[in-house]
Amino acid sequence: MATEEVFTPKEYICHHLNHLQFNLHTFALVTPNDTPGNFWILNIDSIFFSIFLGCIFLTIFRVVAKSATSHIPNKLQTAVELIISFVDQNVRDIYHGKSKIIAPLSLTIFVWVFLMNLMDILPIDFLPYIGEHYLLDLPALRVVPSADVNITLSMSLGVFILILFYSIKIKGLNGFSKELILQPFKHPIFIPVNLLLESVSLLSKPISLGLRLFGNMYAGELIFILIAGLLPWWSQWLLNVPWSIFHILIISLQAFLFMILTIVYLSMASEQH
């Protein structure tokens, strides 16, 4: 377990669901027993691992780009080229406009979300134990950024801003406004109904995008916690190994879905009606 004290299964699960939080109002770490209910609380573990994994992604791709060769590539270059080709093909199939941002954005989303999801494969007590006993005596630590709704909704908010940007850029403010008030019913009497329906449809895109990723990764993390909290250490592998193998599929699928839906939404925003 993450600490030397003996936990009941309920206490163990609750302990692993606590974030390492920082209160911007008091400039102090929030302990698991605190219930501040304050807006100015940061989940610094999610922020740290998100940035850290993003740096790993940029470093690997930069190193491969600098050392790329036209001769027989090494395994790392081959893997990176396969990922780029995979993402590029999906962008070409779905997005029919012209943009220099969509392909790099899609690649970044796919790899970054995949790396964040991949943290769920690590043993549930490994990094929290190191953080508590060998680093800074951290009271809590969660290492899967995509299991934090703040991270997933922040990413989907960025996609939503791009949806609005491309909608106004391609269609103009007047054209975008007409889409909101004249669809699906074109008669002026239905303007309030159209505005309500289109607003719900527009806002549901980032919300569903973020909550889908969060829900799947949170559930996967919770299952690992339940296995570790309810079974003795010597028998945990009987469930952990099969679930980890299956979870790799979920990790990849969720990264793919986040990328594909981003491309679809931006493609829809770029269409002229």
Phi, psi at 202, each rounded to 5°: -70, -45
168: Cα within 13 Å, side-chain hemisphere = 6
What value does the mean pLDDT take over residues 200-223?
94
pLDDT at position 2 over 60: no
Distance CA 147, CA 219 (A): 8
DSSP letters along 99-147, please? -SSHHHHHHHHHHHHHHHHHGGGS-TTHHHHHIIIIIS--S-----GGG
Candidate from 116-130, 198-212, 222-236 with smallest mean pLDDT:
222-236
Catalytic residue, from 212, 244, 252, 267: name it: 212
Q: Which among 156, 216, 240, 270 is annotated as catalytic?
A: 216
Catalytic residue among 67, 74, 199, 208: 208
Look up residue 70 and give its amino acid.
Answer: S
Count, residues in the chain: 273
Catalytic residue flag (residue 92)? no
Residue 37 region by backbone torsions, left for phi larger than 0, else alpha for psi between -120 and 50, else beta: left
CA distance 264 to 252: 18
Between the alpha carbon of residue 214 and those of residues 20, 198, 207, the distances in Å are: 18, 25, 11
Active site residue 33: no
Give φ, ψ of 161 to 5 degrees.
-60, -40
Identify whether 208 is a catalytic site residue: yes
pLDDT one-digit tens code per residue, 75-99:
999 999 999 999 999 999 999 878 8
Q: 12-16, 56-60, 140-144, 262-266: lowest mean pLDDT where? A: 12-16
Percent of the chain with pLDDT over 70: 94
